[in-house]
Amino acid sequence: MPTVTINRKVLDRIIGKKLPDDKLKDRISMLGTDLERMDDSEIVVEIFPNRPDMLSEQGFGRAMCSFLGVQTGLRKYDVKKSGEKVIVTKEVKDVRPFTVCAIARNLKLDDEKIREIIQVQEKLHITFCRKRKKAAIGIYPLEKIKMPITFTAKKPEDIKFRPLEANREMAANEILEQHPTGKEYAHLVKGLKKYAVFQDANSEILSFTPIINSHKTGKVTDATKEVFIEVSGPSLHTNEYVLNILTCALADMGAQIYSMEVVYPDKTITTPNLSPREVDYSLDFLNKTLGISLNHKEFKENMEKMGFGVEKDKVLVPCYRPDIIHQVDLAEDLAIAYGYETFIPELPKKATPGEEDAIEKFRKKVSILLAGLNMLETSSYHISNKDLQLKKMLLKEKDYVELANSKSEDYTLMRYSMLASLMQILGENTHNEYPQDLYEMGYIFRQDDAEETGVREDLVLSIVKCGPDAEYTKIRQVLDYLFTSLDMKYEVKEASHPSYMEGRCAKIIVGGKDIGYLGELNPQVLENFGVSMPAAGMEIKFWVIYK
Amino acid sequence: MEIAKKLHPLERKVLPHIVNHSSISELAKVSGLQEVEVMRACQWLENRALLTIKSEEADVIDLDINGHEYRKKGLPERIFLKAIAEKPHTMSELSKKLSGEEINICIGQLRRIGAIEIKKEAELVFSITDSGRKLLEKESEDERLLKKAFPLKLDTLTKTESLAADELLKRKQIIKKDRRIERTITLTHEGEKVAKENLDIDLIDKVTPKLLKSGDWKGKEFRAYDVEINVPRISGGKRHFTNQALEYIKSIWLELGFKEMTGHSVHTSFWDLDALFVPQDHPAREMQDTFYLKTPAKGKLPEKELVSRIKKTHEDGWTTGSLGWRGEWSSEKAKENILRTHTTVLSALTLSKLKKEDLPAKFFAVGKCYRNETMDWKHLFEFYQVEGIVVDEDANFSNLLGYLKEFFRKMGYPDVRIRPGHFPYTEPSAEVDVFHPIRKEWVELGGSGIFRPEVTKPLMGYPVPVLAWGLGLDRIIKEYWEIQDLRDSYKNDVKQLRDFKMWLK
């Protein structure tokens, strides 16, 4: 989860007082953020993905300030008209269809504030903007730009400028191949015939979005007093929220926000719109959901602690809160304001019948029988590999279920044979005392078109007896004891199976159906697993014996 | 019980001799037992504090192959001198009595001290001198040493003896040096008393079927055992320790009136994620967290009606009252097969089949979930989760806390707290912490919340509050058996499986 680093002095200034560490720690976790670490100068908190508005000092401070009751209720953000335009050409429609823009003036930037602007931009990019896929932000010193600005798309060969952190002009494809930021985000424009750029009235390229700004017109310094801000991407409402979150943070830093007219071929929109959204609510519903009974006044006070405005039958949702999409989302904020620690646990006295899964119950019975035979139950991973599950067992089947993206080469295949997993366990226990008699019940995986996923998961029981005396009779006795105890009839028929020794292997048949094999393990299999003790084993489809 | 009657027959045989003998070899000789038997008896007696065994390492000399022979026949130089004292001998005559090598050594040695004269005729002829005759009259230091009782401790030798030993050690396989453990057996005060008792008593050692049938035991005494002594370990068959814990956890939910859900590990993203209103661009769906399948990569979607509800809910909220995620929902993405990321997928499946007339209803599941992690001591790619849902028109957030508190109370964690949390499928959401009674700190054990209407309405057709939680179990299991490395829970070390205590809650 993303973290945000907060300067404690800034936070103290925002909330207007200095809280003792203990109290602050407690409030941080009860606000719905996770404290990662705290020292005298800094606090690092994790922000849940539904609250991108808290990914800045200003945003976190604003929320904490309301939560502590210092400044509650809806905050009004004043947007003045700049009259400036951003012209969106039809070329961007298939490349990067939307942008929303704003101007911020009266910025009194210092290193601290610049660092903060970079932090919020980065954090939003990583999280809410889905690594710039859903939206990308550009911030430019206004004094370097000649209005109006055009948002258009150009052929790669027509794009040439000096990107940030580079010492020369580069062509678009050169940036994607050589510039560190270009290489990192190149996949976002892969396959596009044209790339999206912002350029000013002098045809000076401001940025190649979502990749990088120009060094000349896209670098904010402490001399910058005014900035042009754009957010572009495939989702208009995401762009809007990103711009709102950003401009509100700048406004909280003391900037004055100005709107711009974004002129699309078919319409013109004025952005940003920092006024709140109205959401219907039912106090009955919210009370019932939480199991509490607040009156309207208490409800209002609590919601104001979360930065909302409350009217008679509407809640005013701040423009920086994209997560409120249903009134249940208000319930959570209400619960946070009310205090998670305040809820009284209540176990309903309603009777419902409990019921254990029938197969699970049967599994336990089988376990009792096998433990009575001095066998140890093992518990192996569901994920294994082809070498172990098939090759070492001398199996040549192809209906295995393979993973696409495992991080470890040893774990790439869903368990194909439970007996293979038991053999591996024997191979890892050669230093321990014999006999080693093991069993495990679990799923094996096969491709099967009849299933919804194309994967059949069979519950199997596998048993292996390993030690100087292990041989066919010993495993056959186990099978016999098991079926006799379960009051079931079975037959065995001579059979051939690569994992077992020829002439000492049989098929197990119940009600005319093959349910598995038993026999002495092929010495080659023993050697493959590094076991130098005889072993006899079996694997049967469990669900068949359950039926 | 008097000690004498507890003694094993071997102990009874050895004990009286310890009064006069203190080494294992001597005791073996006088008792007629083998050395190992004596040793075993002495160890038992030592355990009973009747004697002490003092072990000392010492450098000793012992007879070697030639030494044994020379002790009987005499040293080669004596044989040589004796022969030529009778009459001078030629080389070939001497070689009937001694080996060539021995003759050469004797010539060298005896000539150096002027004990022999050598003449060269057709062959070399050896005759004795006066000083040679003198030598024959008395025993040499070497010979005297050779006659002593071996092995000899080096530090008990006199100065002349040790000089002789040095000489003999230079020669071929007469004596050898060795490091030995010398055990000295001494009776304790108690031991001396017992040794004086009559130990030659007729006790029955083993109860046999023959003895019982014949009735011969009647009127006789049985040897008493030391019943307090440690015994070798045995072990039996048992369930894997994690399964013991899971069984108990299941029993808690069953007692609380929950029905068990079970199901597959492989699901389409549709059931694991889309049905739970996880947006299609959510980071949890990225390759690095979730295991995707290569073969078969995609599955089928369920009935059209349900798919279209889910699609609409994602895109614009459908009739749930939600705005939805406001992006395009791809059915191809929903078909991707994955390993279940949470047992919550089972809850989604259960809700899709639940009839309104069966409410209220409660369900739980205990099962493995998967996360694409690189394994280390605190991360596994397979982990256990316990899942619970309560489907009830009247269910609320306070009830959720009530169920969690009851569960953890039965698990041995009486203090439970919730903190605000976030999951795409619940609102409100809460992280669940328990207070660790030993570590005295809050420990995070899972997530919980009330399913969003965007989850319940498309699946069930109507919105009903559904309380839900998913709690991690591996941490509890690890703590109970004091496992440091999470991987050890699935190591299946046979010794560990045999030795681990049971789940005792």
Domain of A435: which CATH number? 3.30.930.10
Distance, CA of A470 to CA of A474 (rounded, Å): 6
Region for residue A165 given its phi and psi (left: phi exceeds 0; alpha: psi -120 to 50; beta: otherwise) = left
* Tokens, residue A488: 């079931």
* A455: pLDDT strictly greater than 90: yes
Angle at A325 between CA A319 and CA A330, to 5 degrees: 85
**Unique residue bearing structure tokens 């956890």:** B249
Domains of chain B: 3-51+180-202 (1.10.10.10), 65-178 (1.10.10.10), 242-264+342-499 (3.30.930.10)
A319: tokens are: 């423009």
* pLDDT of A121 above 70: yes
B132-138 LR contacts (CB < 8 Å, sep 24+): B132/B81, B132/B84, B132/B85, B133/B85, B135/B81, B136/B78, B136/B81, B136/B82, B136/B85
- Give the residue among A138, A328, A323 at the shortest CA–CA distance from A241: A323
Bridge partners (DSSP) listed for residue A414: A383
CATH number at A118 reads 3.50.40.10
User: A348 and B394: CB-CB below 8 Å?
Assistant: yes
Interface test with A, best of B397, B450, B473 (most A CBs within 10 A): B397
Do residues A426 and A531 touch, judged by C-beta distance below 8 A?
A: yes
pLDDT above 80: residue A543: no
Q: How far apart are the C-alpha atoms of A34 and A46, rounded to whole Å?
A: 5
What 3-state class would DSSP assign to A441?
Answer: strand
Q: Which residue of chain A comes nearest to B247, CA vs CA?
A: A364
Residues A28 and A148 in one domain: no
Q: Tens digits of per-residue pLDDT, A147-206?
A: 999 999 999 999 999 999 899 999 999 999 999 999 999 999 999 999 999 999 999 999
Three-class SS of residue A374?
Answer: coil
Its ipTM equals 0.93
- Of the three residues A14, A34, A67, the one that is the final residue of a domain is A67
For residue B360, CA distances in Å to B233, B259, B393, B426 come to 52, 12, 7, 19
- The confidence band for B397, taking pLDDT boundaries of 50, 70 and 90, is very high
- As to burial, measured by CB atoms within 10 angstroms (0-12 exposed, 13-18 middle, 19+ buried), residue B87 is exposed
Range of the domain at A330: 277-339
Inter-chain residue contact B337 with A454, CB threshold 8 Å: yes
How many whole angstroms separate alpha carbon B472 and alpha carbon B160?
Answer: 81
Residue burial A475-514, b: 16+ Cβ < 10 Å; e: rest: bbebbeebbeeeeeebebeeeebebbbeebbbbbbbeeee
| Pair A123, A228 in one domain | yes
Across the interface, whether the CB atoms of B296 and A401 are under 8 A apart is answered yes
The answer to whether A455 contacts B299, with C-beta atoms less than 8 Å apart, is yes
Lowest-pLDDT choice from A169-173, A300-304, B435-439? B435-439
Of A248, A271, A294, which marks where a domain is finished?
A271
- Note the Cα A379 to chain centre separation in Å: 28
Q: Is residue A348 part of a domain?
A: no
Query: Considering only CB atoms, which chain A residues are within 8 Å of B395?
Result: 348
Task: Report helix, strand or coil for B362.
Answer: strand
Q: Which positions in chain B touch A340 (Cβ < 8 Å)?
A: 417-420, 430
CA distance A400 to chain B (A): 8
- The mean per-residue pLDDT over the stretch B346-351 comes to 98
pLDDT digit string, tens, across residues A381-411: 999 999 999 999 999 999 999 999 999 999 9
Q: Give the per-residue pLDDT at B72.
A: 86
Across the interface, of A29, A371, A443, the residue whose CB is closest to B239 is A371
Whole-number pLDDT of residue A53: 96
- On average, the pLDDT of chain A sits at 95
Q: How far apart are CA A274 and CA A261, in angstroms?
A: 15
Check B265 against A370: CB less than 8 A apart.
no
Using an 8 Å CB-CB cutoff, list chain B residues near A359. Answer: 262
Query: Looking at residue B55, what is its pLDDT?
Result: 87
Instruction: List the single residue in B292, B362, B497 with the smallest CB-CB distance to A404.
Output: B292
Residues A310 and A440 occupy one common structural domain: no
Is A351 domain-assigned? no
**Which DSSP letter does residue B292 get?**
B
Residue A547 pLDDT > 70? no
Pick from A50, A280, A434, A452 the residue to mutate for testing the B interface (most B CBs within 10 Å): A452
Amino acid, single-letter form, for residue B42: C
Cα–Cα dist B370/B266, whole Å? 10
What is the pairing mode between strands A491-494 and A160-161?
unpaired
Strands in A11-144 per DSSP E:
33-38, 42-47, 79-88, 98-105, 136-141
Nearest to A445 among B266, B427, B494 (CB): B266
Q: Do A154 and A262 fall into the same domain? A: yes
Report CB contact under 8 Å: B265, A457.
Answer: yes
Query: In terms of CA atoms, which chain A residue is nearest residue B321?
Result: A326
Among B281, B489, B494, the residue with its CB nearest the CB of A134 is B281
Across the interface, whether the CB atoms of B398 and A31 are under 8 A apart is answered: no
Nearest residue to B390 (alpha-carbon basis) of B247, B259, B246? B259
Q: pLDDT for A521-535, tens place per residue?
A: 999 999 999 999 999
Asked if residue A412 and residue A373 are part of one domain, the reply reads yes
Backbone phi, then psi, for B393, in 5-degree steps?
-50, -35
Is residue A433 included in any domain, yes or no?
Answer: yes
Average pLDDT of span B430-441 = 91
Best A326, A330, A462 residue to mutate vs chain B (most B CBs within 10 Å): A326
* Shortest Cα distance, chain A CAs vs residue B95, angstroms: 57
How many angstroms separate the CA of residue A263 from the nearest CA in chain B?
Answer: 23
Nearest CA in chain B to A49: B422
Question: How many secondary structure helices (H) and strands (E) does chain B include?
Answer: 22, 18
- Helix (H) / strand (E) containing B466: strand B466-472
Tally of domains in chain A: 4
Of B345, B311, B312, B314, the closest CA to residue B331 belongs to B311
- List of E strands, A255-407: 256-263, 268-271, 277-280, 309-310, 314-317, 376-377, 383-384, 402-403
**What DSSP string runs through B112-154?**
HTT-EEEEESSSEEEEE-HHHHHHHHS--HHHHHHTS-SSEEG
Contacts of A235 in chain B (CB under 8 A): 326-327
CA pair distance B442, B451, nearest whole angstrom: 25
- Yes or no, beta carbons of A130 and B283 under 8 Å apart: yes
pLDDT at res. A346: 94
Residue B73 to chain A, least CA–CA distance (Å): 53
Looking at the structure, tell me whether residues A294 and A241 fall in a common domain.
Answer: no
Q: What integer pLDDT is reported at residue B1 of this predicted model?
A: 60
Using an 8 Å Cβ cutoff, are B320 and B313 in contact? yes
Domain assignment of residue A344, yes or no: no
Same domain assignment for residues A122 and A202: yes
Backbone angles phi, psi at B126, to 5 degrees: -110, 130
SS3 category, B90: strand
- The alpha carbon of A331 is separated from its chain's Cα centroid by a whole number of angstroms, namely 23
DSSP type of residue B318 = T
Q: What sections of B322-396 are H helices per DSSP?
A: 331-334, 344-353
Three-state DSSP at A170 gives strand
CB atoms within 10 A of CB B136: 12
Which one of A331, A343, A380 has the shortest CB-CB distance to B398? A343
CA distances from A245 to A35, A120, A248, A325, B248 (A): 22, 9, 5, 17, 48
Q: What is the mean pLDDT of residues B302-319?
A: 96
CB burial string B245-259: b at 16+ within 10 A, e below: bbbebbebbbebbbb
Which residues of chain A neighbour B237 with C-beta distances below 8 Å? 370-377, 437
Is the residue at A199 inside a domain? Answer: yes
Q: Do A471 and A334 sit in the same domain of this protein?
A: no
Q: Would you call A414 and B266 a contact, using CB atoms and an 8 Å cutoff? A: yes
pLDDT at B373: 87
Q: Between the CA atoms of B482, B484, B487 and B490, what dihedral angle is there, to the nearest 10 degrees? A: -10
CA atoms within 13 A on the CB side of A531: 33
Which residue among B250, B396, B492 places its CB closest to the CB of A378? B492
Nearest to A340 among B255, B427, B430 (CB): B430
| φ and ψ at residue B16, rounded to 5 degrees | -60, -25
Interface A-B: count of C-beta contacts within 8 A? 273
Asked whether residue A345 is assigned to any structural domain, the reply reads no
Q: What is the CATH number of the domain that holds A12?
A: 3.30.56.10
How far apart are the C-alpha atoms of B137 and B119, rounded to whole Å?
24
- What pLDDT sits at residue B95? 85
**Rounded percentage of chain A residues whose pLDDT exceeds 90:** 92
Is residue B94 helix, strand or coil?
helix
Token pair recorded at residue A127:
């999280």
Q: What is the pTM of this model?
A: 0.83
d(CA B379, CA B374): 7
Residue A73 lies in a domain: no
- Determine the residue type at A375: M
Is the CB of B243 less than 8 angstroms away from the CB of A288? no
In a shared domain, residues A40 and A131: no
pLDDT of residue B115: 86
Give the pLDDT confidence of A126-142 residue by residue, as tens digits.
999 999 999 999 999 99
Do A258 and A398 sit in the same domain of this protein?
no
Nearest Cα residue in chain A from B421: A32
Output the six-digit token pair for B38. 């004596």
Q: Which of B277, B419, B426 would you mutate first to test chain A, the one with the most A CBs within 10 A? A: B419
- Other C-beta atoms lying within 10 Å of the C-beta of residue A326: 19
Q: Confirm whether A368 is domain-assigned.
A: yes
Tokens at A459, concatenated: 């519950």
User: Are A371 and B236 an interchain contact pair (Cβ–Cβ within 8 Å)?
Assistant: yes
Final residue before a domain boundary, out of A67, A87, A107: A67
List of chain A residues whose C-beta atoms are within 8 Å of the C-beta of residue B294: 402-404
Write down the mean pLDDT value for chain B: 91
Distance CA A370, CA A382 (A): 22
Q: Do A58 and A95 have their domain in common? A: no
Residue B367 has pLDDT above 70, yes or no: yes
CA distance A363 to B446: 28
Cis peptide before A210 (omega within 30 of 0): yes
Across the range A466-493, mean pLDDT stands at 96
Chain A contacts of B337, Cβ < 8 Å?
453-455
pLDDT at A323 over 80: yes
Question: Which of A291, A326, A340 lies at the smallest CB-CB distance from B420?
Answer: A340
Q: Do A83 and A31 lie in a common domain?
A: no
